[in-house]
Every structure is written in C-alpha cells, then in structure tokens.
Amino acid sequence: MASSKECENELKECEKELKEYKKELYSKECVAQNINFVVSEASKEVITLMDYERFSGYLATILARDKEVVAVWLRVLSDHCEIYLSKNFAWLDNDVKYIDKIMKYLKDISKDAPMESSTNGTFAEAVMLYCSAKLESRLKKLKNYIEKNGDSKHIKSFIDFFLINIDNTDKESMIMMSQVCNKYYKEIKYKSSIPPKFLGYIKKVGSYAGSIIGIIECAHNIQYQSLFSNVIVIRRSPVVINNQPIYSWKNIIRRFIDEDKYKNFMAKCLNKTKVTERMRRVYTNNTTQQQQLLDGDDVKQCIYLHAEMNILIYIIDNKINGREFIAVSKKCCYLCGLYIDFAQEQGYNIIISGNHKKIYSGWKLPHVKDNNFKIRSLRYILENLDRIIEKKLEHYTRSLAADSDSGENNPDPNNSDGEYMDVHFKKVGKKLKKFTLVQL
Ligand SMILES: [Zn+2]
C-alpha cells in the first residue's frame, strides 16, 4: 500500500504536470490567435429555444454595456427561478443597482399589471439609460452602411419603411429607431435578397426594443408569472489572473518547425500588418503596458474566465444534467465552443446559441472540482490547438488575414410588435441623446 508520503508526492507531481500543461495552453492560445484568428466560418445553426430560454437571451442583451460580455442562465425550479449572471470582468456598483432595479420591475410586471401599465415605461427607461451608448454605436454602424450603400434597392426599401413607421417628432429618437428596426427585421429576416451584413445591423439595432418587449411579454405570460414573482439572482464572481507566465512566441513555434523555417516564417509574418498588429496586442503586458520580447523567457499574459464558462463551472460542479441553455450577449469563441463540445461528450446537455469560431488568447481554463474532467478537457483543447498551429505553419505561405467582425449575439425576437410600448418609447426617446440615422 502506498504510504501517505508517496500519495502526497504523487499529488504534487500531478499538480506540477497540470501547471505545466496550463502554461503550454496559455502560450499556444497566443500563437494560435496570431496565426489563425478565425478557425472556420461562424456557425449558422439555428436552435429552437423555449420561451424562458429566449428570455435569458433578452436579459443578456439588456445587461451588456459597451464592450462587456454577459452570460445568463435561468434555472427553473418547482416554485421559483434562479437567474445566474456572469460577466468577464468585475461587477460595478452601478451594474448591481441596475440589476436590482430590473428584477424589481420584473416582479412588478409579473403581478398581472396591464400591458399599458406605467411600469413598462419606467422599465424601458432604465434599460435605455444603461444601454444607450451601445445602441448609439450600433446605430452608427448602420448609418455608415446606409451611407455607403444608399443607392441599393434594399436600402431604399428600408428608408421607405422607416419614414412610414416613424412620426416626425421621433425621427431622432434612438429607442424609436430601435423599435422600427425591430419591426423591420421581422419583415425581412427570411428574404434571401437582403445582404446578411445589413440584416445583422438591423437585428442589432432592433434588439433593444425587441428585448424590452420580449421581457415584458414573458413576465406577463401566465405560465411563468409565479416564477418571475419569485426570482433569485446569483451574480458569479469574475476570475482574472493578471500575470500568468507563458512561453514566448518563438519557444512555441520552434516546437513545430526548425530555426530556418522559423526565420522564413517570421519574414512573412512581419510583412502582414494585421498579424504584426495582433502580435503587438497579444504580447503587450497588461500590467506594464510594455510590449514583451517574442523570444523572451519571462513573458506574462492576463487570462480571464469567459462569462459562459463561469456559469458552466457551476453546472458541472453540481452535476446538473438536464437541458441547460446559457445565453450570451456575444456569440461564443472557438475555445469556449471546444470546451462545451467536451462537456457535451461527458453527458452535459449544454445549449448555446452561436459560435464565431475565433481564438482569443487570455482564455482561462475553467477550474472545475473534478480533476479528471479538468485534465482531460485540457488535453482535448491542447490537441485541437496543436492541430491548428501545425496546419497553419505548414501552409504559412498562404494569406494570414482574418476579418474582425465581433459576432455579437442577440436572440431572434419571437414576441409581438409591442405597439402598446410605442407610447412609452416615445417618452423615453425624449430623455435620450438625439441621433440622425437618415438625412432627409
Ligand atoms: Zn469564450
């Protein structure tokens, strides 16, 4: 029988090995992001969601401010519901107050208040004050697109629709623009003649009015009323490690190719501005803001747990095996996608909408209680990264360019047009900054 000393040694050895594997993972993420940012085309799979799952999506939309990523998971229990929230970085006081406010509205709305109730208006106002900067940036993208493609048929028909559906007094109201886009999206989403990029812009602008209406209708739904009148919110704490040691760029690449090939490869990389720009970003130390040497031996990286992984840890640690939908305000990245694939293979029925298949360095491995699960998931991800790096280095003469679309994620609206909200939106619009979408 092994003595306790031997067991202890074995455990230490195991931990050392795990630490080494993790260092390798975080180093390879950096290399992979630089040479193969987009692994494959974004998934176009359409998942049919239950009403309450769609509700999580609406919540994720209205809880994400600026560039933040928010994940939402609704756990429906027999007599109440738990809403798990997580985001990539710290919750600010302002966020906590906002979430409390939203939950209070949710309870009020579900207490069979009529559809025209003034609570709907105050709810819409709170959401728009929190999200207006992000809505404005989405409107700017749409406006840019309209200006560049002004002569196209699809733009002309959008402008016609816009002018018919918006009152003169609301022409500069951001929330009314969102409401018009929300309606327009439903009309055009199945038309193949509409360029996907334009459809995406319309959907994103419309997502605010769409989410507000969606939440109100879900809270009113008699089937869910008791759940929403008894909601518990659990905010997950973010996990960020500022100074994770990693192997240098050269150290990793030389594990795949020899010195001559490395020199050749570097000459090619340095010619591509997109690659050098990404290298600069990836290898800049988060604390000192200094660019680190590509062949240095003291390279550090900031790593953090992605919002959806933070929720997934809870599901795995508590062995929750039912169908669980995690809504995220942005499509999930390649590494989160891989981890979810692995969890699915282990019997977890995790549903997530959308994967933009991009590799982000700084992705932190979820720290689940089950060591065996942790080690096997780590190996699975490393194997995939090795395959990607190897393949890309083999074909390094080909283009290294990748586009940088951010792949934001909003639920497809499934609610009514919510015309009863127009009166509230009109009022809220007057309190927000003005925006001109279409020059008349
Ligand atoms: Zn991710």
- Helices and strands: H and E segment counts in the chain: 15, 7
Residue 399's pLDDT band (boundaries 50, 70, 90)?
very low
Single-letter code of the amino acid located at 311: I
Whether 142 maps to a domain, the answer reads: no
Q: How far is the CA of 285 from the centre of ligand 1 (A)?
A: 21
Q: How far is the CA of 364 from the centre of ligand 1 (A)?
A: 9
Whether 168 maps to a domain, the answer reads: no
Q: How far is the CA of 42 from the centre of ligand 1 (A)?
A: 14
Whether 2 maps to a domain, the answer reads: no
pLDDT of residue 351: 94
Cα(134)–Cα(65) distance, integer angstroms: 6
Mean pLDDT of 30-55: 81
Q: How far is the CA of 362 from the centre of ligand 1 (A)?
A: 10
Mean pLDDT of 324-328: 96
pLDDT of residue 59: 95
Structure token digits, residue 293: 């040497």
Q: Are 149 and 199 in contact (CB under 8 A)?
A: no
User: Has residue 254 got a pLDDT over 90?
Assistant: yes
Q: Of residues 78 and 358, which shows the higher confidence score?
A: 358
CA-based nearest residue to 328, from 404, 406, 410, 405: 410
User: Has residue 401 got a pLDDT over 60?
Assistant: no
User: Has residue 400 got a pLDDT over 70?
Assistant: no
Mean pLDDT of 157-178: 94
Q: Are 239 and 91 in contact (CB under 8 A)?
A: no
Single-letter code of the amino acid located at 222: I
Q: How far is the CA of 239 from the centre of ligand 1 (A)?
A: 13
Q: How far is the CA of 352 from the centre of ligand 1 (A)?
A: 11
Q: How far is the CA of 244 from the centre of ligand 1 (A)?
A: 18
Q: Which domain holds residue 261?
A: 13-39+247-303+358-403
Residue 402's pLDDT band (boundaries 50, 70, 90)?
very low
Q: How far is the CA of 312 from the centre of ligand 1 (A)?
A: 12
The predicted-structure confidence for 119-134, as pLDDT tens digits, reads as follows 899 999 999 999 999 9
Residue 113's pLDDT band (boundaries 50, 70, 90)?
low
Strand (E) or helix (H) holding 83: strand 81-87
Backbone angles phi, psi at 258, to 5 degrees: -80, 175
Q: How far is the CA of 432 from the centre of ligand 1 (A)?
A: 32
**End-to-end Cα, the chain, rounded Å:** 85
Cα(279)–Cα(258) distance, integer angstroms: 21
Structure token digits, residue 107: 């309870």
- Residue 175 CA neighbour count, 13 Å, CB half: 27
Q: How far is the CA of 85 from the centre of ligand 1 (A)?
A: 15
Cα(88)–Cα(85) distance, integer angstroms: 11
Whether 56 maps to a domain, the answer reads: no
Q: How far is the CA of 414 from the centre of ligand 1 (A)?
A: 26
Beta strands in 270-323 (DSSP E): 299-304
Single-letter code of the amino acid located at 274: K
Cα(60)–Cα(327) distance, integer angstroms: 6
Backbone angles phi, psi at 88, to 5 degrees: -65, -40
User: Has residue 2 got a pLDDT over 70?
Assistant: no
Residue 404's pLDDT band (boundaries 50, 70, 90)?
very low
Instruction: Look up tokens 């360029």; give the residue.
Output: 195
User: Has residue 395 got a pLDDT over 80?
Assistant: no
Residue 236's pLDDT band (boundaries 50, 70, 90)?
very high
Backbone angles phi, psi at 161, to 5 degrees: -60, -45
Whether 30 maps to a domain, the answer reads: yes
Q: How far is the CA of 94 from the centre of ligand 1 (A)?
A: 25
pLDDT of residue 290: 84
Whether 309 maps to a domain, the answer reads: no
Q: How far is the CA of 288 from the centre of ligand 1 (A)?
A: 25
The predicted-structure confidence for 179-222, as pLDDT tens digits, reads as follows 999 999 999 988 889 999 999 999 999 999 999 999 998 888 87
Q: How far is the CA of 157 from the centre of ligand 1 (A)?
A: 37
Total count of domains within the chain:
1
Read off the DSSP letter of residue 41: P
Cα(129)–Cα(351) distance, integer angstroms: 31
Strand (E) or helix (H) holding 369: none
- Tell me if the pTM is above 0.85: yes
Q: How far is the CA of 232 from the centre of ligand 1 (A)?
A: 26
Kindly report which listed range (70-74, 115-119, 400-404) carries the lowest average pLDDT score. Answer: 400-404
Q: How far is the CA of 333 from the centre of ligand 1 (A)?
A: 4
pLDDT of residue 44: 66
The predicted-structure confidence for 338-378, as pLDDT tens digits, reads as follows 999 999 999 999 999 888 889 999 999 999 999 999 999 99
Residue 1's pLDDT band (boundaries 50, 70, 90)?
low
Q: How far is the CA of 355 from the centre of ligand 1 (A)?
A: 9
CB atoms near residue 144 (< 10 Å)? 11
Q: Is 317 exposed, middle or buried (0-12, 13-18, 19+ CB in 10 A)?
A: middle
Mean pLDDT of 28-48: 80
Q: How far is the CA of 363 from the centre of ligand 1 (A)?
A: 7
Q: Are 408 and 201 in contact (CB under 8 A)?
A: no
Q: How far is the CA of 224 from the centre of ligand 1 (A)?
A: 30
Backbone angles phi, psi at 34, to 5 degrees: -70, -45
